[in-house]
Structure 1
Amino acid sequence: MCGIVGIFDLQGQRDIDAALLARLTSSLRHRGPDEDGMHREPGLGLGHRRLSVIDLASGQQPLFNADRSVAIVFNGEIYNYRTLMAELRQFGHQFRTSSDTEVIVHAWEQWGEQCVQRLRGMFAFALWDRRRHQLFLARDRLGVKPLYYGELTDGTVAFGSELKALLSHPAMPRALDPLAVEDYFAYGYVPEPRSIFRHAHKLPPGHTLSIRAGQPLPAPRQYWDVPFVPHAPGSEAQAADELLARLREAVRIRMVAEVPLGAFLSGGVDSSAVVAMMASASTAPVNTCSISFGDPAYNEAQYASMVARRYGTLHHAQKVEADDFELIDQLATLYDEPFADSSAMPTYRVCQLARRRVTVALSGDGGDESLAGYRRYNLHAREEKVRAMLPLGLRQPLFGTLGRLYPKADWAPRFLRAKTTFEGLARDTTDAYFHSVSILGDTLRRRLFSRDLRRDLQGYHAVEVLRRHALASPAQDALSQVQYLDLKTYLPGDILTKVDRASMAHALEVRSPLLDHELVEWMSGLPTQLKLRGGTGKYLLKKALRPLLPDDLLYRQKMGFSVPLADWLRGPLRERLQQRLTSPVMAQSGLFDMDTIAQLIEQHGTGRRDHSAPLWSLLMFESFLRQVLPLPAANARELATA
């Protein structure tokens, strides 16, 4: 696992400044502390920071073909590289190393841009072909590995594994994107392809970008999508057996490493399944790591210990105390843009714990999206049945009125909180799902934003992110449709971003077997009743795992990997929250209505309302403004409209 950077001259063949390229490269030292490498030629500079995992002796980058006309910097792992190496040798290719990086170079020589279709793994790479005068950027199918790029004011394109690489370049414009601000306060992250900066973009998952000097910067090209092609897996028992066989293979190919390897073990279904597969494939005890919380409502430690004992793992657990707030400011510099998922803190800690013992860790990420594990899928499916019975013209006035009249009862038992359900039933399918995943509702966002920011948005609404993906979706039923939306937005924008930055901060490589694209393709086509049945998500996986894991773990209520935000913001964080959100940084940004912020703080502090989600989002945005985009005299909104 590594960090990659580069500078490409769109206007010709100007020399790339060596000190500048070194600055961009060193900004990602945390991603690859073992080695660095750079290459410059007229019009091009490539930089690489290496975390050595495979081919420790000869896998240095940038890596070249035999005549040095092709160069690559690569971040990730190609799990089928040995198979590809054997195939390429039959075409006459000769290899100087045993690295998966060199396989990509020869695959490019053999298949050109179609080489990405042959790669099985997680990757982001930049490949320069001097003969074709072409710079080729690529990102893996699900978006496990990140890649940012932007056209700069000096006529160059810069790219890197993290935004901080682009921000290290003096010609990178710092203008905020008002649309990204709207997206952030709706989703809690900035979905692809936007970043918080107007001139920096995320290469979307499953896309490539081909750049040539003297030509305008083109749009990315999609090479893969989740198919959701229905297939008949045979009987339920046969489907369960096939699922386990496919999962075993996805785990097995991710256990190849020349460094210590382990796994995250949260006590949930997915991570426990991965550990069970690892234990069966390993002759030595598996290293496992978990985080526990003092609050029993958030603590899964007993289930993690149960799995560890069953499979004889070398288990390491660490308790996160209720006052573990020192990471709040660090998160802003970790993510380079506002990021409101509070589970980033325990994720950081479990990566920190794991890195003390291993260099590679397997995770259970991806199971909820592919096999309908989130509680919201069950609620959405039930609401869809009602939406199917009544046309929108009837539902809007009926349920819209009920939603307006019904009180918002954050304090009440869940079955009495009908306001959100009524509001969802008054909407169409995509808008209803947006309503269910939004951390700040439409009304609150309008109140929170300043008049100037609302004008700058020019009517833009964050639901358009989901609408764009819904129009392109191959899914044929309501459940598959929202799974597709999460695979395109929440998974890469939140889950994978969180894990990548938290792990790379500690130079830890994380591999996700449940995000193997061949496994994802197969799972996407399963009948919906094998994913969600009788209110039980991940139905088939849980049935398949019953011989391997106890029912108490498989069928307990999903807890998630979160922290007690509401209590924190009323208790030990209350004073800090007040200071930060009413600071000159927020007031001078020109983005917010400060009276609304004061009301949110007051209502949450007294316990009348639970505003933990909007307040945490604001706290993370303030930290971003203060640390990543310091504005001692500037107005952030003016910067956004520059």
Structure 2
Amino acid sequence: MSGICGILRLDGGPPDGIEAMAALLERRGPNATRIHREGQVALGHTLLATTPEARHEVMPLTDPATGCTITADVRLDNRAELLAALDLLGTGRVIGDGEIILRAWLAWGEGCLTRLLGDFAFAIWDPRAEQIIAARDPMGMRQLAYAHRENRLLAFATEPRAVLEAQGVPPDLDTGRIADYLEDYLEAIDVESTFFQHVRRLPPAHWLVADARGLTVRRYWSLVPGPEMRLGSDQAYADAFLDVFTEAVRCRLRSDGPVGSMLSGGLDSGSAVAVATRLLAAEGRGPLPTFSVIHSADPDCAETRAIRASLTIPGLDPHLVDVADLSPYMDDLHEALRSLKEPFDGQMNLVRSAYIAAERAGVRVVLDGVAGDIVLTDGNRMGQLIRAGRWTTAWNEAVAEERYWSGEHTRWRFMGEALRQAAVPDWLRRARRRWSGLDDARPKGALLHPDFARQVDLRSRVARWRRNSFAPAPSQAAWRAASISGPVLLVGRERYDRVAAGHGIEPRDPFMDLRVIEFCLRCPSSQMKTDGWPKVLLRRALRGLLPEEVLWRAGRTHLGWTLTQLLIRSADKHGAMPGPSDTTATLLNQALNLPYGQPLSRPLVDDLRWDRTVLALWSNSAYGPKP
């Protein structure tokens, strides 16, 4: 997971700021920093060498025949297929993934984008047309942000804040994103916003072209469900899934050094670990380093029990972070918080502590299972059963779901929600929200000041969030596809990317493999949920590979907020957290119902104090707003 950046001066001026852009990305790519300058264009690359080929490839890379130059953050999973199609086999030299993309672009143009399998963000300078072409992978595993000033410049970088270092990009803060952070669900308002008014994220599955004529951004791929798969038995589905999932894990084990994995007490990371250890053992590699957060002092902690059960998988080298004694990690956690890349990352302390452990172990590639919950969603199976007239089966599912969640929600609630979704048309739901005032965007928990909510037009932001998160779909498969390719999964993956990058680590998620996603979309919903058990396809596929206690663990808990509360107490005790700058303090006082610094009473005390502290930390970091 390297860093890339670049500037194209459309007015012919010098591309000033490229060195500062690259410097801000060097934590992400600590192995080497290189700059390519050519007249009004400059490209930068900060290398994190996580594949054998990346160690030998020098980027930015120029094709001598055309003068086209590429900078790329990339891992391709179909290298052999692409090398054969491009007639690059048998050259007797190491060909990196960046060069493959450049050759593919020169051979096939835009058509190359749908032939690339893997995680990538890249930009190509084509001096023949005097234009920049940039693209992001279909699922958005690699990030790319940009700013376009008409007739003046295009600047792009892996991280939005780095774009501001290009001379000519205004540093104006988007205060609407401050509201999004304080009303946390609005993090997923869309796939383009950043905390800076003039910087946009390039959406996944999109490419852009910038030249003297302007900027064009286009979609090159959409996630469309194929025809429903019909196999002979539940076991046949499970076996077929395991084959596809195993190949996805295999591709993510290609590395220049050791590969590790997150290992929570859940099913998704456990599945990646179980398959990875089998593959490594077959290749004579291993053991697999794993990184987990436990609470040894709490005998009732279900997460800790499940992690200890997972650690019985053969071929592991476990590394445990214990919230009962965070002292070995506290200094690094405080330092990481003082370098927040976005306020949303302030909630990622459990993940951050695992990455700190991986960094200390010398592991630069870490598997996880973040996308499992969404890729394996059932798409409201109870609603489908109701629409099909299978009322008894739907009721049995509601009873089973109540049992799965240990009574957190009742069967009546599950059944009522399914009935509402099955029977009430979208237009009537929208009308009901208008009539009942549910679209009035009332600030959550009276946390956001009403005047600030009006200033940022919170109502229209909520409406935009609803459009992007709850768009109607013609079928359940299409609804599942929209959920997978929508903003919720994307912002989650972007958080992991930013936090991992802060420790020189590349995250890899086999559930984000297009082959896994397309397979799951073709499965009937009964393979996603049965008898109240979500992700039943994965549970069946991993029988015999995961301990039963993990395979059939009900509910969902983790230690994230427990760890954050300990971090708050430690910061208070040792004075590790600085206050906000004057500018940020002023903004916080405008945004919040309670003035910054005013004593608080529970239950908002920890939640609100943490939100305010995170904003202060971010504003003071190198990744916060420019002065």
Query: Is TM more than 0.5 here?
Result: yes
Q: 1:307: how far off? A: 3.0
Cα deviation digits, residues 278-309 of structure 1 (max 9, x gap): 12212233322223233646663443343333
Distance 2:107 2:90 in 1: 9
CA distance in 2, matches of 1:205, 1:3: 17
2:32 is the alignment partner of 1:31? no
Matched with 1:621 is 615
Match of 2:461 in 1: 461
Number of aligned pairs?
587
CA distance in 2, matches of 1:264, 1:569: 21
Residue 104 (str. 1) matches residue 101 (str. 2) = yes
What TM-score results when the alignment is normalised by the length of structure 2? 0.82
**Alignment-derived partner of residue 128 in structure 2:** 131
SS in 2 for 1:33: coil
Structure 1 residue 619: Cα displacement: 3.2
For residues 286 and 613 of structure 2, the distance between their equivalents in structure 1, rounded to whole angstroms, comes to 42
User: Aligned to 2:86, what secondary structure does the other structure show?
Assistant: helix
2:117 to 104, 117, 120: 120
Identity of aligned residues (%): 25
Secondary structure of the 2:515 match is helix
- The answer (yes or no) to whether the contact 1:32–1:49 under 8 Å persists in 2 is yes
Residues 512 and 157 of structure 1: is their aligned pair in 2 closer, same or farther, counting only changes over 3 Å? same
CA distance in 2, matches of 1:387, 1:588: 53
Letter in 2 for 1:621: L
What is the alpha-carbon distance in structure 1 between the residues aligned to residue 175 and residue 152 of structure 2? 24
Deviations 1:165-206 (A, max 9, x none): 123335332222243334332426364200011101111111
Correspondence 1:353 to 2:352: no
Distance 1:420 1:599, change over 3 A: farther
1:78 is matched with which residue? 76
Taking the aligned partners of 2:625 and 2:159, their CA distance within structure 1 comes to 22
* 2:404 matched residue in structure 1: none
Q: Secondary structure at the match of 1:461?
A: helix
In the TM superposition, residue 274 of structure 1 has moved relative to its aligned partner by 1.2
Distance 2:350 2:330 in 1: 11
Contact 2:443–2:449, Cα closer than 8 Å, also in 1 = no
- Residue 625 of structure 1: how far off its partner (Å): 3.1
Change (3 A) 1:414 1:208: same
For the residue of structure 2 that corresponds to 1:267, the secondary structure is: coil
Q: For residues 624 and 277 of structure 2, what CA distance do their matches in structure 1 show?
A: 48
The partner residue of 1:506 within 496, 503, 506 is 503
The amino acid across from 1:293 in the alignment is I
Q: Distance in 2 between matches of 1:72 and 1:493?
A: 27
Q: Could you tell me which residue of structure 1 aligns to residue 375 of structure 2?
A: 370
Partner of 2:488: 490
Contact 1:73–1:126 (CA under 8 A) maintained in structure 2: yes
Cα distance between partner residues in 2 of 1:273 and 1:41: 48
Structure 1 residues 230, 562: closer, same or farther in 2, change over 3 A? farther
1:105-504, aligned counterparts within 5 Å? Answer: 105-152=102-149, 155-184=152-181, 185-187=183-185, 189=187, 191-212=190-211, 214-218=212-216, 220-234=217-231, 235-282=233-280, 283-294=284-295, 296=298, 300-320=303-323, 321=325, 330=335, 334-339=339-344, 342=347, 344-355=348-359, 356-372=361-377, 414-415=408-409, 442-444=442-444, 448-457=448-457, 459-468=459-468, 470-471=470-471, 476-477=475-476, 481=479, 484-485=482-483, 487-494=485-492, 496-504=493-501
- Secondary structure of the 1:310 match is coil
Between the aligned partners of 1:599 and 1:187, the Cα distance in structure 2 is 25
Give yes or no for contact 2:261–2:367 (8 Å, CA) kept in 1.
Answer: yes
Question: Displacement of 1:88 after TM fit?
Answer: 0.6
2:394 alignment partner in structure 1: none
Once the two structures are TM-superposed, the CA of residue 93 in structure 1 deviates from its matched residue by 11
Note if 1:518 corresponds to 2:515. Answer: yes
| Equivalent-residue separation in structure 2 for 1:208 and 1:595 (angstroms) | 41
Q: AA paired with 1:366? A: A
C-alpha distance after superposition, 1:387-437 (max 9, x if no partner): 999xxxxxxxxxxxxxxxxxxxxxxx84499999999979987889x9xxx
Match of 2:392 in 1: none
Change (3 A) 1:580 1:2: closer
Aligned mates of 1:150, 1:243 — CA distance in 2? 41
The answer to whether the 8 Å contact 2:224/2:481 transfers is no
Which residue type is aligned with residue 300 of structure 1?
A: E
Does the C-alpha gap of structure 1 residues 462 and 365 become closer, same or farther in structure 2, counting only changes over 3 Å? Answer: same
User: Closer, same or farther in 2 for the Cα pair 1:506/1:610, shift >3 Å?
Assistant: same
1:290 counterpart letter in structure 2: F
Distance 1:570 1:174 in 2: 31
Residue type matched to 2:209 in 1? S
Aligned residues of 1:128 and 1:134 also touching (Cα < 8 A)? yes
Q: Is the 8 A contact 2:260 2:363 kept in 1?
A: yes
Whether the aligned pair in 2 keeps the contact of 1:289 and 1:316 (CA below 8 Å) is yes
Match of 2:13 in 1: 14
Equivalent residue letter for 2:504: A
Deviation at 1:269, TM superposition (A): 0.9
Closer/same/farther in 2, CA of residues 567 and 590 from structure 1, 3 Å limit: closer
SS of the residue 1:564 aligns to = helix
Indicate the larger mover: 179-188 or 101-110: 179-188
Partners of 1:263 and 1:287 within 8 A in 2: yes
Give yes or no for contact 1:85–1:103 (8 Å, CA) kept in 2.
yes
> Could you say if the C-alpha distance between residues 189 and 349 of structure 1 is closer, same or farther in structure 2, counting changes exceeding 3 Å?
same
Distance 2:150 2:622 in 1: 20
Which letter does structure 2 place at the counterpart of 1:203? Answer: L
Structure 1 unaligned blocks of 5 or more: 390-412, 635-642
Conserved in 1, the CA contact under 8 Å of 2:31 and 2:48? yes
CA distance 1:467–1:233, change in 2 (3 Å): same
Query: Is the CA contact 1:261–1:359 (under 8 Å) kept in the aligned structure 2?
Result: yes
Q: Which amino acid aligns with 2:344?
A: F
Q: Distance in 2 between matches of 1:333 and 1:149?
A: 25
Matched residue SS, 1:623: helix
